[in-house]
Amino acid sequence: ALERTFSIIKPDATNRNLTGAINSLFEKNGLRIVAQKRIQMTTAQAETFYAVHSARPFFGELVEFMTSAPVVVQVLEGENAVLKHREVMGATNPSEAAEGTVRKEFALSIGENSVHGSDSLENAAIEIAQFFAGNEIVG
């Protein structure tokens, strides 16, 4: 089915000027960028976004990292977009990511892993709504 998923190009990638290279991989794999903006995430936004990880030992580091430089938040649309995006991103840990994936090509570590993607259609809707108004998404 035609789906929308939520994507973030993270600070390690924006710092290295990789926005276009990552978008190119998304587009080559059939994902259409139907909304996109570059923002400086606030601590409150990052804490809310990653609330599910708040008990993890890396939570503080994660919030610190996500607010350390601009990020690019996106809505990607395509057939089975949630799963397709996760496939194009590759495994969370770049040392386990498959050849040709964003994280294999670009990620630096499990924390500085260049991209975020929603893990389900339900979470995609929640995450999209945290960063985009309906009229900012143009399919």
Annotated binding site for ATP: 10, 58, 86, 92, 103, 113
43 contacts 67 by C-beta, under 8 angstroms: yes
Compare residues 35 and 73 and give the one whose CB is closer to ligand CMP: 73
53 is catalytic: no
Question: Which spans of this chain sit near ligand CMP (rule: CB under 6 A)?
Answer: 53, 58, 61-62, 92, 110-111, 113, 116
Compare residues 7 and 23 and give the one whose CB is closer to ligand CMP: 7
6 contacts 118 by C-beta, under 8 angstroms: yes
Cβ neighbours of residue 129 under 8 Å, at least 6 residues apart? none
Tell me how far apart the alpha carbons of residues 108 and 114 are, in angstroms, rounded to a whole number. Answer: 8
Tell me how far apart the alpha carbons of residues 12 and 45 are, in angstroms, rounded to a whole number. Answer: 18
Min dist. Cβ of residue 47 to ligand CMP (A)? 13
Min dist. Cβ of residue 135 to ligand CMP (A)? 26
Q: Which residues are catalytic?
A: 116
